[in-house]
Each structure stands twice: as structure tokens, then as C-alpha cells.
Amino acid sequence: MLSLQEDLATEIANETTETAQAVEAAAEDGGGLISRLTEGDFSADTWMLFWESVGQPVLLAIVLIIAVFIVAGWSRRITKKACTKANVEVTLSRFLGNVIRYLVLLAGGIMILGTLGFNITSLAAVLAAVGFAIGMAMSGMLGNIAAGVMLLFFRPFKVGDVVCAAGNTGKVFEIGLFTTSFDTPDNRRIIVPNNSIFGDTIENISHHATRRVAIDVGTDYGADIDKAREIMLAAAKSTSNVLTDPEPAVVLAGLGGSSIDWSVRVWVNSGDYFSVMDELTRNVKYALDQAGIGIPFPQMDVHIDGKVAQN
């Protein structure tokens, strides 16, 4: 093991030396150009040297940067279209598209460094050592990538699901390499690191096709229990978009300090949850009012001892 480490250290040192020599040679060339310009030599040979050593590599690098970004975006779109034609889920197709884009950008960056005169072979060993140090320092980012892969593997939710995760509730817009994006009901975009989501409890609100709506109601102790149940059950059945299987139910939840406590429960399609909750609450309130059954609410009686002074 010690011998292997020594060999690796020797190889990295050799590669570093070669890189330094290449940089030194480039500096000497640049120094010759600078000395000519400083001495006022603006001859055709000087401009040709400037073009060959500075102008051409920089111009080519700029063209390559633009081309790399164009190809990266094009590759992502092509990958997503191919996944769509193959009936791959939207969540996975977006993730794969982003992975392809980052790979193209990485390959393009290496190619651009070679264009600028860097020895890629020599630079690779240095980048490996630097990359290891950066990886240790950016362990949180690597954790986000691992968490993103685990989210795609276990698939606790997909794009379009409404979830509650990492203290946020919203519709999943995209699952990326590092973060997941949510759109809230009031149309805000929230971006959460994947590690925060995978390491916490995830509630998938829209996972099932149906949900149960339950509202809590309190009635006066003087009201007849059976009559109150019948009235609230009729109000629940008259509410629109309520499913008949399972049937609506009115459950006697308990005897409270000032009211008889009920739970009115109906089943609905997930998309109708909030509209049904609103209408059900309204129908139950109106039905109890028409039947003369009161809903207790907190009151305060003030008793004054002694005489009240009058001015």
C-alpha cells in the first residue's frame, strides 16, 4: 500500500512538473510578445505573433464556449424528446436531460482548456488531486446529488404531485441534480436542496386518486343527537362532487366541555378536495340553522359586585 501511494505521489509530481514547464514556456512566448510591444515594435511579424499566441486561441475559445452551451441545450432537449417518445416518466426524462447537459458542459470545458494551450493529460492528475480536496469541502453538494439519485430511484413523488417536504407544501415542478423545485398554491417557486428533502419526512398529498374531507362541528347539548346526525348527513349527501362509495358519514366524536362534537366525513376525488370542503361547511351550517340547532361558541359573562357609580 505504501509503495502504491509513493508511486502515485511521484506520478502526480512528474505531471505537475510538466504542467509547470508548459506554463513557463507559454510565459516565455508571451514575454517575447510583450517585450516587442513595449519596445514599440508594431511590425507585421509582431501582430502575427500576437494573433497566433493570443488572438486565435482566445477567439477559438469564445466560439467553442458559445458552441458548447448551444450543444448542451440541444442535447438536453433531444434527450427529453427521446424519453417522451419512449414513454419515460417526466421526472426521469428531465433528470436525464440535465445529466446530459452537465456532461456536455464538462467535456466542452476540457476541450476549451486544451485550445488555450493547457496540457490536458498533465492537468488531469492535478485536477484529480484538487478535485478530491474540493469534493471533501463540498460534501454537502455531493450529498444533494446522491439524494437526487435516491429520489429518482425510490420515487416517493413525481413531477406534478402535491407534496409536503422539508417544511414546504407545493406541486413538484422539477427534480434536478442538486435541488427540487416546488410551485406553491399562491404561485411561488421554492427551490429546496435534495438532501433536505430525502433526509426528512415526505408527505405525498396527491398520491391517491381520492381523499377524505372531514369537518368538525359542535352542536348544543339541548339538541337531539339522532336529529342532528340526520340533518348533517343529508347536508353532506347534497354536497356536489361527493362520492357515494365510500358513503358520507357523520361520526359522534365526543362530548366536549360546551358542545356535542361531530365529524362530518365525505370522500372526493383529489382534485375536488378544497371546493368540496368549502361547500360542505356551508351546507352543514345552513342545515343546522334551518333546524334551529345552535353551534356553541365561546362567550364571556361579566359580573360586577357592588354598586356602579353614576355621574
Q: Are residues 114 and 32 in the same domain?
A: yes
| pLDDT band at residue 303 under the 50/70/90 scheme | confident
Q: Which residue has the higher pLDDT, 141 or 292?
A: 292
Please tell me the distance from the alpha carbon of residue 119 to that of residue 126, in angstroms, as a whole number: 11
Tell me what the pLDDT averaged over the chain comes to.
Answer: 80
pLDDT of residue 251: 97
Q: Which residue has the higher pLDDT, 5 or 274?
A: 274
User: Would you say residue 26 has pLDDT above 50?
Assistant: no
The residue from 168, 185, 204 where one domain ends is 204
Q: Which residue has the higher pLDDT, 127 or 28?
A: 127
The answer to whether 287 and 231 have CB atoms below 8 angstroms apart is yes
Which pTM does this prediction carry?
0.57
Sign of the dihedral through C-alpha 211, 217, 223, 225: positive
**251 found inside a domain:** yes
CA distances from 298 to 44, 94, 218, 259, 282 (A): 95, 53, 12, 11, 20
Q: Which domain holds residue 88?
A: 2-137
pLDDT of residue 311: 54
The residue from 160, 178, 204 where one domain ends is 204
pLDDT of residue 23: 43
Q: Are residues 133 and 159 in the same domain?
A: no
C-alpha cell at 10: 511521484
Q: Are residues 214 and 189 in the same domain?
A: no
Residues whose CB falls within 8 Å of the CB of residue 293, separated by 6 or more in sequence, listed in order:
219, 220, 223, 227, 228, 231
**DSSP letter (8 states) at residue 164:** E
**48 found inside a domain:** yes
The answer to whether 119 and 25 have CB atoms below 8 angstroms apart is no
CATH code, domain with 158? 2.30.30.60
Report residue 154: phi and psi, to 5°: -85, -25
Report residue 96: phi and psi, to 5°: -65, -40
User: Would you say residue 69 has pLDDT above 80?
Assistant: yes
**93 found inside a domain:** yes
The answer to whether 182 and 228 have CB atoms below 8 angstroms apart is no
User: Would you say residue 233 has pLDDT above 80?
Assistant: yes
Q: Are residues 40 and 79 in the same domain?
A: yes
**110 found inside a domain:** yes
Q: Are residues 125 and 6 in the same domain?
A: yes
The residue from 112, 137, 162 where one domain ends is 137
User: Would you say residue 60 has pLDDT above 70?
Assistant: yes
| pLDDT band at residue 217 under the 50/70/90 scheme | very high
CB atoms within 10 A of CB 148: 24
| pLDDT band at residue 1 under the 50/70/90 scheme | very low
The answer to whether 22 and 122 have CB atoms below 8 angstroms apart is yes
Pairing of strands 249-255, 210-219: unpaired
| pLDDT band at residue 196 under the 50/70/90 scheme | very high
Q: Are residues 132 and 163 in the same domain?
A: no
**309 found inside a domain:** no
Q: Are residues 12 and 127 in the same domain?
A: yes
Q: Which residue has the higher pLDDT, 187 or 109?
A: 187
Q: Are residues 64 and 94 in the same domain?
A: yes
Q: Are residues 104 and 219 in the same domain?
A: no
Q: Report residue 23 CA to chain centroid gap.
A: 42
Give the pLDDT mean for 93-111: 82
**38 found inside a domain:** yes
pLDDT of residue 96: 80
**106 found inside a domain:** yes
pLDDT of residue 284: 97
CATH code, domain with 239? 3.30.70.100
Q: Are residues 192 and 249 in the same domain?
A: no
Q: Are residues 248 and 218 in the same domain?
A: yes
User: Would you say residue 163 has pLDDT above 80?
Assistant: yes
Q: What is the per-residue DSSP string for 172-218?
A: EEEE-SSEEEEE-TTS-EEEEEHHHHHTS-EEETTSSSEEEEEEEEE
Q: Where are the alpha helices (DSSP H) in the chain?
A: 2-38, 44-50, 56-85, 90-115, 120-137, 139-154, 194-198, 225-237, 273-290
Report residue 302: phi and psi, to 5°: -105, 120
Of 6-20, 41-55, 248-262, which one has max mean pLDDT?
248-262
Q: How many domains does the chain have?
A: 3
Which residue has 351546507 as its cell numbers? 283
By C-alpha distance, which of 243, 160, 145, 241 is closest to 193? Answer: 145
Helix axes 120-137, 139-154, angle to 10 degrees: 80
**296 found inside a domain:** no
pLDDT of residue 11: 52
Give the pLDDT mean for 194-198: 92
The answer to whether 260 and 220 have CB atoms below 8 angstroms apart is yes
Please tell me the distance from the alpha carbon of residue 245 to that of residue 268, in angstroms, as a whole number: 9
CB atoms within 10 A of CB 283: 19
Q: Are residues 10 and 127 in the same domain?
A: yes
